[in-house]
Chains A and B, each alone.
Chain A
Amino acid sequence: MGVIEVEQIKEVVSCVFILAGVIFMLISTIGLLRFPDFYIRMSAITKGASLGVGLILLGLGIYFNQPDIMLKVLAIITFIFITAPVAAHVISRTAVRNHSPFWNKTNLKEFEEYQEKLHLDKIKNHDRYREEQKTEKKPSGAGDNV
């Protein structure tokens, strides 16, 4: 009586970690539903999800308290922290290329140059694309007639 077992401390600590992870994931999912534009939603969900998964896995590792499980948990956390931002970066870059709109309060002063260049590139590529289409059509059209 009165003596707190090591097992109990371990259980409580792992519970705290897992609950914190779940709460972070829940909050970031609410943010995904209510934030105004694509980029803000993206930045909310990457951080929340990666930290949430990290905390849940850490709690799991502490609960089982085995060296091999701990090693696997640390490896998984490392790989998630490497891959999640890369995925977010690629998705947001694709959104910019596809002219996904920014929130109307966003300050885009330093981004105008980039967007202009993107627009010019698109026009240039569009012209080239049309020219290619024209040159390709002739032989295929002739082939259809035969």
Chain B
Amino acid sequence: MKTFYLHSAIAFVSAYLITHQDPPPLPYNAFSTAFVFLVIFWILWSTSWFYNKPYFRKMPKALFFAVFFIKELLVANIKIAYDILTPRYYMRPTVIALPLSVKTDLEITLLACMITLTPGTLSIDVSENRKILYVHALYVKNNDVELLKQYIKNGFERRLLELTT
């Protein structure tokens, strides 16, 4: 994580310096600056193979996780929009008790945030011993609660654990 902050800071400052040269090497707009930033960040990331192996491995996973999260967000919104605009309700709301395997405060908070932002689910409460997260889910196929639990655990929790440990 420290390496990530350091690399982003270096890439940010150098992108700033490059775009503020007197005859600008690239046209001054958002896309060229983002491109310069990403190229510098990529170079720094590829050097981290020599001194920080875990960071080198985790970065692509984080990227895939972000893409997966955005995809889930869009799918959730389209599903709910369909349900709002058609006269019948297709939802079968259920409250599920999701057993947690994440431990620290940060991980639980991130997981709850992601659950709230994705497919028709809303996190309601964490039990006092931090073992169970109560989630209000809208779309449960054939009342199969276990399937949804497996989906959340494999989709979000596993990826989150891979990133933080």
Q: A residues near B, CB below 8 A?
A: 24, 27-28, 30-31, 34-37, 39-40, 42-44, 46-48, 50-51, 61-62, 64-67, 69-70, 81-82, 84-86, 88-89, 92-93, 96, 102-103, 105-108, 110-111, 113-114
Checking A28, A70, A111 against B30 with a beta-carbon cut-off of 8 angstroms, the contacting residue is A70
Closest to A81 in B: B117
Query: Which has the most chain A C-beta neighbours within 10 Å: B76, B94, B124, B140?
Result: B124
Number of interface residues of B (CB under 8 A): 43
What residues of chain A lie closer than 8 Å to B155, measured between beta carbons?
none
What residues of chain B lie closer than 8 Å to A61, measured between beta carbons?
30
Interface string of B13-36 (1 = CB under 8 A from A): 000000100000000111101100
Query: Which has the most chain B C-beta neighbours within 10 Å: A31, A89, A106?
Result: A89
Query: Is B156 among interface residues, defined by CB-CB distance under 8 A?
Result: no
What residues of chain B lie closer than 8 Å to A24, measured between beta carbons?
77, 81
B84 engages A69 (CB within 8 Å): no
Query: Is B44 among interface residues, defined by CB-CB distance under 8 A?
Result: no
Q: List 13 A-B contacts (CB under 8 A).
A: A47-B80, A51-B73, A67-B28, A70-B34, A85-B123, A86-B113, A88-B122, A89-B112, A89-B124, A107-B94, A107-B143, A110-B134, A111-B97
B77 engages A51 (CB within 8 Å): yes
CA distance in complex: A108, B135 (Å): 11
Checking A35, A67, A106, A114 against B33 with a beta-carbon cut-off of 8 angstroms, the contacting residue is A67
Given contacts A44-B80, A107-B140, contact A85 B96 (CB under 8 A): no
Checking A39, A46, A50, A110 against B93 with a beta-carbon cut-off of 8 angstroms, the contacting residue is A39
Q: Among residues 108 to 159 in chain B, which have CB atoms less than 8 Å away from a CB atom of chain A?
A: 109, 112-114, 116-117, 120-125, 127, 134, 136, 138, 140, 143, 145
What residues of chain B lie closer than 8 Å to A62, measured between beta carbons?
30
The secondary-structure label for the interface of chain A is helix
A67 engages B97 (CB within 8 Å): no
Q: Among residues 85 to 99 in chain B, which have CB atoms less than 8 Å away from a CB atom of chain A?
A: 85, 89, 91-97
| Chain A proximity of B4: nearest CB distance (Å) | 15
Given contacts A27-B81, A34-B84, A110-B145, contact A69 B116 (CB under 8 A): no
A110 engages B95 (CB within 8 Å): yes
Query: Is B74 among interface residues, defined by CB-CB distance under 8 A?
Result: yes
CA distance in complex: A28, B85 (Å): 10
| Chain B proximity of A102: nearest CB distance (Å) | 7
| Chain B proximity of A113: nearest CB distance (Å) | 8
B85 engages A27 (CB within 8 Å): yes
What residues of chain A lie closer than 8 Å to B143, measured between beta carbons?
107
CA distance in complex: A111, B97 (Å): 7
A31 engages B136 (CB within 8 Å): no
Closest to B114 in A: A85
A43 engages B120 (CB within 8 Å): yes
